[in-house]
Structures are given as structure tokens and as C-alpha cells.
Amino acid sequence: MPWATNPLFKPEDFPEPKPKDGADVESGNDDPRQQVLDSVPTRFKVPSSKFTGHQIFYISFILDGIGAALVSGGINFAIAYAMYATDGVTGPIRLWKFPNTLAGDAALTTFIQLLITWHVELMLVNRDLKKGGVQPIGFIPEPKWSLVRWYLFLDRKEQTRKVRSWRHWLAFLRSQVVRALLLAVVFFPIVWGPSVGFLRLVGQRQGDDWYYKKEWVPQIFKLIQGAALGLLTTPLIVMFWLTRCGWALRNHEERYGER
């Protein structure tokens, strides 16, 4: 079951399925759909055969789409104000040169925000799944390419560490960080390139660099970048965990989201 190596789950979240009253437990059932229905733990909903209205709403609005964009944009705006508009800021704000480089800020923000978003959604989505608050995605077929299967926690080696030991937690966190950073690498050119182009348009060029006032270009830039990252990546991460849970339930896995 999925709880076996994922420290976010507990054994009681996956009680053994019980036969329904009046059922012939020896006769068996050849219907794959019914087998899934009978075997899904009671706290989890059955993986869906298509996108449901609730799944679309969950992915798009509940802190996972527009909500994530608003939250991420607001946090980045506040951080940028503290970084660039306070009295403690020394030196000019430039595009390329340190210490106040907006190009470097844009690059760092991409990786840090993806790391935070990945782990926040890991906890929130898994919490909602095990409480039955959202239905796992069950209609997406498993990929066949080995590297993609590795990324999606498929085809893993046998677990030898004790569940919820410190070594297990470290391995679990390492596996999540690696995947979050790989996702950040994919989105880096998508986000960073347009960010630099935008900053060149709104900056004042002096020599080989672009300069900015303390207010409001850096803050608005960080707001837009944070909101765009939240809008682009959070729904994908949510779908990742909804789909991963659907595979785990259908395959009766003993490991979930850890390698």
C-alpha cells in the first residue's frame, strides 16, 4: 500500500478492504473496474475515468492555479519591496551586475519557488487525497520510457530502510528535491528568458547594463514572475500527485512517491 514508504501516510489510512455484505468472497470478479472499486482504501476515492468537474476546479482555483498565482505574486512582491525599496538597500539596482542584479534574482526565484511549491503541494494534495477531499486521476496511462517512469516513482527497487526512520525521511526528501529541481530546469528558459527581455524594455540603459529605480519596477517584475510561475507550475504539480496516487491505488503499490 502507498503508506509503506511515504512518511506522509500512516497504516491506518489504508485499511484492508472488506467484502461487501452478501458477497461471495470465493467466486471472484473478473471485472477490472469492479476489482479497483473493491480494493480502494475507504479513505480514498476511486481513481476517475476522466476529468471531473471537481478535479478541474481543484486544479484550477483552490491554491493550485489562479489562487497559487495570487499568493506567489503577492509574496514575491513583498520580498522585492524588502530587498530593493527599504533604506538598508545600498548600491544601484541593475540587470546584470551584483550586488543588486535582477537577472540573478529572476534565476534564483525560479528554483526557490519551484522547490517550495513542490513540497507545499506534496503535503496539501496528499492530505486532501487521504481524506477523500479530491478524487485521484485514474485515466492517464503509465509511461513506458524508463527515465519518465523513474521521475514518476515507477519501477523502483525494493525498500530496505525502516519506514519513518531518519534515513527514510532523508531519502524521501532527497527524492522530492531532485524532482523539483529538474522541473525548475525545464521551466527556467521559459520563465527567465522573457523576464530578462521584459527588464531590458523597462530599464534605463547606461553603458553595458540596465538600471532601475527602487520603486516600482523591481516589485512589479517580481509580482509578475511569481504569479506566472505559480500559474504555470502549480497545476502541473497537483496533477502529478493526483495521477501518481491513481496509479498507486490501481497497482496496489507498497511504495508511494519515494525512491
pLDDT digits (tens, 9 = 90+) for 136-161: 999 999 999 999 999 998 876 555 44
Buried residues in 172-183 as b, exposed as e (16+ CB within 10 A): beeebeebbeeb
The grid cell for 145 is: 520510457
Indicate the helix (H) or strand (E) that contains 105: helix 102-130
How would residue 164 be classed by pLDDT, with cut points 50, 70 and 90? low
CA distance from start to end of the chain? 15
User: pTM of the predicted model, to two decimals?
Assistant: 0.79
Q: What is the CA radius of gyration of the chain?
A: 23
State yes or no: pLDDT of 182 exceeds 90: yes
Question: Mean pLDDT lowest for which of 3-12, 201-210, 232-241?
Answer: 3-12
Give the length of the chain: 259
d(CA 121, CA 116) in angstroms, rounded, equals 9
Computed over every residue of the chain, the mean pLDDT equals 81
Question: Mean pLDDT lowest for which of 27-36, 89-98, 214-223?
Answer: 27-36
The grid cell for 252 is: 496496489
Residue 25, pLDDT score: 31
d(CA 217, CA 83) in angstroms, rounded, equals 13
State yes or no: pLDDT of 172 exceeds 90: no
Long-range contact list for 159-167, CB < 8 A, 24+ apart? 159/4, 159/5, 159/254, 159/255, 159/258, 161/5, 163/4, 163/5, 163/7, 164/7
User: Mean pLDDT throughout 42-59?
Assistant: 88
Cis check for the bond before 92: say yes or no (omega within 30 of 0).
no
User: At 204, is the secondary structure helix, strand, or coil?
Assistant: strand
State yes or no: pLDDT of 79 exceeds 90: yes
User: Mean pLDDT throughout 102-116?
Assistant: 96
Number of helical (H) and strand (E) elements in the chain, helices listed first:
7, 4
Which residues contact residue 249 at a Cβ distance below 8 angstroms, ignoring those fewer than 6 apart?
A: 2, 36, 39, 40, 41, 44, 46, 47, 136, 138
How would residue 20 be classed by pLDDT, with cut points 50, 70 and 90? very low
Q: Given strand 204-206, what is the order of strands in its sheet?
A: 100-101, 93-94, 209-212, 204-206
Q: Where are the domains of the chain?
A: 2-13+50-251
User: At 87, is the secondary structure helix, strand, or coil?
Assistant: coil
What percent of the chain stands above pLDDT 90? Answer: 59
User: Mean pLDDT throughout 229-241?
Assistant: 94
CA proximity to 187, closest of 228, 219, 137: 228
